[in-house]
Every structure is written in structure tokens, then in C-alpha cells.
Amino acid sequence: MAIANSELIINPDGSIYHLNLKPNQLAQTVITVGDPERVKEVSKYFDIVECKVGKREFHTHTGVYKNKRISVISTGIGTDNIDIVFNELDALVNVDFNTREVKNTHTSLDIIRVGTSGAVQSDIPVDSFLLSQRGIGFDSLFHWYENDGGDLAFAKAVSQQINRSQLHAAPYVVSCNKDLAKKFQTIEMQNGNTITNVGFYGPQSRKIRLEPSEKNLNMQISDFNFEGSKITNLEMETAGIYAMSSLLGHRAISLNAILANRVTGEFSEKPNDIVEKLIKFTLDRIVA
């Protein structure tokens, strides 16, 4: 059955509504970054850049790195943007834009987030790398889709150990793709469990002038333990990426450059350098 014009919006030039991409402009391996300015920091390593497309906060460069075709796309900040980006990435490979029907053969994308994060354990050093084994959603994105519930046991433990009484979305937990993760698990990469929240200040218990409603959130997060697994870091996209990838049948991992440690109060003295190092690491592991 054809998808209605109001549900799948295709621009007059044949590109998808928000991303402004045409199906042939997307590679099967996709790096996501939050900052539109970071897209060119990835694509500068490409041997060939085939196309550059931008609209709003969504910028995409597709090219070739060591014989591997790769797209890098900026999502902006937050899981609301992840909902847009991942639905449209999926449509580009799994919907026929001429007939507006879902294709008979499913295409799975490899999606690697390269982002920044703050640690909530004192023993996780600033300027280190962390691969999110689980995304723990304090947002509500996963709940807006029919799903299998994700990792219900882990989510129940989060609900029991962390005071969520003043927050209005039940936590959900979705794991990374284990096969894709194996390519990135080197001695440079530690593993962890990542909370995704809906903001940078109050939702992560930061205070400038406004009082967070959950003043002890970070302490509760740091103390969490479920069958030996701890929560390691906070950011704003990973759980949404894992949720949407799982629902749509794509392989996803989230790689974090740890720029801050919320327990010790440290912040990286060279944030641009560590992000650059993570970009280069990611590209090399993709083609390894």
C-alpha cells in the first residue's frame, strides 16, 4: 500500500523532507554527529567527497574513505531530532520513492554515533573513549512506538533504584548491536551504560540559576548497580538511536568522547583534540 503524502513527505526534487537527501546520496555506513560543524571534521579525511547536502541542523557529506563509502550526518541535539533523522534514513533505503511503498527487501544500515558525554563514575577519566553497551532512555521516544519493551529487567532496576517520581517518562533500556560493537572494542575503548536525558542543565542536575527538581540525581545514578553493571555516563541521543535502530532493523553503536567527569568536577582541557582523535579512531575501525 502506498504511503500517504502527508506521512512520507518528499520534496519536489525527490529528496526526503527534513534531511534533503535523495536515496542515492546515502551510504550504507553512516556516522552521526550532533554538531553540524563536526560533519566537515569527519569528511575532511575522505579521499573523495561525492555530495554535500544541508538543511536546518541536518548536514550530510557522503564520500569514500579507504575504499569504503560512508555518509556523515549531523542530527542536532536531542532524541526529538533522532526520531526525524532515523525515520528518514530508514525511508531512504527501505521505501521506493516512486511507488511510495515499502520495499520487499530490507536494507540494514550500520550507524555509528560519534559524540561527547560526561562521566558519572569517578574512575572514568576525562579524555577517554566509551562505547555505550546500553542506552537508558529518560526521554519518552521509545514509548511512542509499538515495541517489545527493550531490556525490561534493567529498566525495572533503574526505576527501583533512581527516584523518578518527579519525572514523567518511564525509563527504557535498549542495547547496542553487539556484532557492530566488536569492531570498536579495542584497548582504547571502555564499555559502559549510558543515560540519555532530554536536556543539558536541569535534566542532568546542573544548576546555574534554576534549581533542578532532582538535586541528587547524579549521586543516585552513580550508586546504581544491577547485576554488577553500573551507569557510566550521561548524554542526549544514545537511547533514542538504539531504540529507533532496533525498531527499524539497523545496527547501531554510540561512541563517546568523555569530556567531563560530573563526580570530580573536571572538564577536558583539550576537547577538540579528543573529539578529533575519536573521529580518526572511528574511521579506521570502520575500514579495519
CATH number at residue 36: 3.40.50.1580
Total of domains in the chain: 1
Judge whether 222 lies within some domain.
Answer: yes
From the list 195, 217, 79, 197, the residue with the least C-alpha distance to 133 is 195
Helix (H) or strand (E) holding 180: helix 178-182
Strand pairing class (110-119; 29-33): parallel
Q: Which residues contact 209 (CB under 8 A, 6 or more apart)?
A: none
Measure the CA dihedral 14/20/26/29, to 10°: -150
Q: What angle do CA 54, 194, 160 make, to 5 degrees?
A: 135
CA-based Rg of the chain, rounded to a whole angstrom?
19
Strand pairing class (101-102; 189-196): unpaired
Calpha distance 255→203 (Å, rounded): 21
Mean pLDDT, 10 residues at a time, over the chain (288 residues)?
Answer: 95 97 98 97 98 96 98 96 98 97 97 97 96 96 95 93 70 97 95 94 89 85 94 97 98 97 95 97 97
Calpha distance 132→194 (Å, rounded): 6
User: What pLDDT score does 212 carry?
Assistant: 87
Calpha distance 112→22 (Å, rounded): 21
Judge whether 282 lies within some domain.
Answer: yes
Judge whether 257 lies within some domain.
Answer: yes
Calpha distance 67→85 (Å, rounded): 26
User: What pLDDT score does 169 carry?
Assistant: 74
Strand pairing class (68-74; 95-96): unpaired
Calpha distance 173→175 (Å, rounded): 7
Judge whether 145 lies within some domain.
Answer: yes
Calpha distance 248→111 (Å, rounded): 12
Cell 529498566: give the residue. 155
Judge whether 83 lies within some domain.
Answer: yes
Judge whether 224 lies within some domain.
Answer: yes
Calpha distance 132→253 (Å, rounded): 7
Structural domain boundaries, residue 30: 23-287
Cell 527534513: give the residue. 18
User: What pLDDT score does 146 carry?
Assistant: 95
Calpha distance 177→185 (Å, rounded): 12
DSSP label at 229?
B
* Residue 105 · residue 96 · CB < 8 Å: no
User: What pLDDT score does 164 carry?
Assistant: 64
Judge whether 206 lies within some domain.
Answer: yes
280 CB neighbour count, 10 Å cutoff:
12
- Counting other chains too, the contacts that 93-96 makes at CB distance below 8 Å and 24 or more residues apart are 93/23, 93/26, 93/28, 94/248, 95/3, 95/8
Judge whether 7 lies within some domain.
Answer: no
